[in-house]
Chain A
């Protein structure tokens, strides 16, 4: 069993080396918040003008950077930790603990911002991985998913870093390409889940299994790692491995993009208006049959009527909704021409978004 003092010592090293990243992270957030406060004060606007949504892209950008930077810094600390009498398995254990702590913290911050965004938004509810951001309760499944996802990403990057550390540049790049190759094959599934969510439980199980797999690979890689850091020396076997992985990545990219485009098509219409007396927006699409339409309908209206109607080739109403609505449904499609229409009547201050994905 790992000595708690050792974990504390390792985490101490990680904190001392990583605190600069956290400093950058909080600086970016504080600068963004300060700028917004300054602008709100200058234009003498209400606190509602504070746009939390503008924080999200900044935060997500920083997050992605840190998801990569944190495990890489951990890997570069390995020689230092070995000089302090650390065992390789202790290093891996404490790194995994650090990854878990870090992803928990980041998930909490992201969820808090998403929650604030969801509760303060008076307009159309945003949709994220098949979940409408309508309040704090909607954040829960996303938070859990993000927690596992970030943990997976940090563990994969730690493994790639460990391969660089142990075997050098070409083997490291090769393993990076191999992992990217597997990822792009499943682009379609990633894209679909990102848009439409579906089974969170299944996704969690898959992520946990992949995480365990990569932690095990890191265990094997670290088991014989030495204090020497890698040198960017190219040997013939490592070059062949790199070229082989490059070919695999190109092939899998072709295959992954082909899968993405061949069996799916998307419909995307949206509009916003201050006042609208009367109008109908109609369109149609053709289904070859034996397909599913994943449909998300989001609408917000202050007064009047706003109705979405989807009709089958036999003119039966397959889906309809009116007023302010957030819905996500899956509709089996039969062969023929399908029609959808958005009808607006005596409406004020409205918005709607219709997004559909037709999948074989």
Chain B
């Protein structure tokens, strides 16, 4: 069975600016991927390219084995929701109900009952005009569309701008429940990494237009640590490890590493008086993108 997404040597240039360079990734069916990267890393460009809204400068994109460009069959399987206000600039005359009505016309798997349920959950007033909606409410509109579309490939690009913590939690819960009932491939781009990381199965990390890593969350958890203790001991025992950050605190230090620790190595470190903890995904992201020298996975 073909992968849901196959991207090969993808490059996208805007004039003289290279937004994406030689990106090659593949995504399996029915998985949630976290697409992470700093501002300007190329996440939104990649999402747009996947949805056929931008055209590649070089390389190829295949969705469910088909070229996405001008392909009605492939495009009908994709729902891309970006920062909602950007889309709305073109349809300022719309009310909330117009957005849902339009979406229902475009997405063949649209589930109106589920949309109604989400509208009630988020207490959305469908008669409200676009210009009267707060950024949080606009995000709710986009979330309803992204979930009710039931598109086999759902692309969520920062879908909850302006949402408060409670509403975001509701969104995570609804997404997790709906995903378990209707599995599909979801690419989820966010800067609220720790919050959303519970949803991710795989992580794709983009940095300066290139893929820094694509790994399962489990693998990342098993290969990212922070080890605290005496600096001299840390230096000697971790000399052959891939250290991505060093924090000095007098004679003590905290070494963050992106590397595996074998079952034999862990007790040795503990016995040497060092404390070993796992890095959170957000910490790993921050350290990798701040210090990427010498690291290509």
Contacts and interface: CB of A to CB of B under 8 A. Distances in A.
A9 interface: yes
Interface in A1-19: 3, 5-6, 8-9, 12-13, 16-17, 19
A9 B105 contact: yes
Interface in A62-121: 76-80, 82-90
Nearest to B103: A84
A35 to B, nearest CB: 28
B246 interface: no
Interface string B61-101: 00000000011100110111010000101110110001001
A interface bracket (residues with beta carbon within 8 Å of B): 20 to 34
Nearest to B97: A16
Interface of B: 48, 51-55, 70-72, 75-76, 78-80, 82, 87, 89-91, 93-94, 98, 101-103, 105-107
Given A82-B53, A83-B51, A224-B55, A17 B91 contact: yes
Contact of B76 (A8, A20, A85, A227): A85
A226 interface: yes
Contacts of B70: 87-89
Contacts of B82: 83
A32 to B, nearest CB: 24
A281 interface: no
A12 B54 CA distance: 24
Given A12-B101, A228-B54, A87 B75 contact: yes
5 contacts: A12-B101, A16-B93, A84-B106, A224-B55, A228-B54
Contact of A83 (B71, B72, B80): B80
The 5 closest A-B pairs by CB, nearest first: A9-B105, A227-B53, A85-B75, A84-B106, A80-B90
A85 B51 contact: yes
B93 A85 contact: no
Contacts of A19: 93
A13 B103 CA distance: 10
B86 to A, nearest CB: 8
B91 A226 contact: no
Nearest to A85: B75
